[in-house]
Structure 1
């Protein structure tokens, strides 16, 4: 388990974190990405991210989970970054990248200092069957 604390502004540090997301998509270890731990009582509770095929291209489905509804957006891998960045620090204080090699948690504390915590992987597979299964559980 590695803990790395970073005094970079959260936008720069989230960019570093998202590089790991893209790497896991490239090397086939990506399982899922979740934005969680909101500030206060937010209507938006989570954002779940998973890869999908759209027009024969690998893209990302962003599922915005609100208290009363869900909204789905489809983005290219590059365009998903600025869309997700809008929600870091408002309302989300954490993002968790689940891969078959490790889980990486991006956290902002009350002073908005960033920490990255690497842990043992939650998921052993990143195959299509698992992704389909996870989609049905959301």
Structure 2
């Protein structure tokens, strides 16, 4: 099983958390090296018609302004995938039900772990 297979399983959990209206935040972490890009965050934008996310690129030098984009979850997926294993080795899903962590080992093997929820309430992006 490749890390891509494990990530696809992880992403199903992301989609299920949105369907259950439990999605609180998604964070890419554990950077490779010391890149300028420090984190990528997805925050929920629960609208009347459809669900969207606010994708935020957070940079290490304070002088560099963060970049935010509103998009669908489907549009965010290729962005998240493009940064896996090239810039980040882990993705953390925070829901009101549980926290789920996807990690890629140095050998390129993926793993998924679950823990108690960090968030009790959802704070939508503005």
Give your verdict on TM over 0.5: yes
Q: Give matches, 1:105-120, under 5 Å.
A: 105-120=101-116
Residue 70 of structure 2 is aligned to residue 74 of structure 1 = yes
> Aligned partners of 1:118, 1:112: CA distance in 2, in Å?
20
Corresponding residue number in structure 2 for 1:22: 15
Other structure's SS at 2:108 match:
coil
Q: TM-score, normalised by structure 1?
A: 0.81
Shift of 1:57: 2.7
What displacement does 1:83 show? 1.5
Mapping for residues 1-138 of structure 1, pairs under 5 Å? 8-53=1-46, 56-67=49-60, 68-126=64-122, 130-132=123-125
Q: Mark the CA change 1:123 to 1:38 in structure 2 (over 3 Å): closer, same or farther.
A: same
Q: 1:78-132 CA distances to partner (integer Å, 9 max, x unpaired)? A: 1211111001111000000001111001011111111111001111112xxx235
* Aligned-residue RMSD, C-alpha: 1.7
Deviates more, 1:69-78 or 1:110-119: 69-78
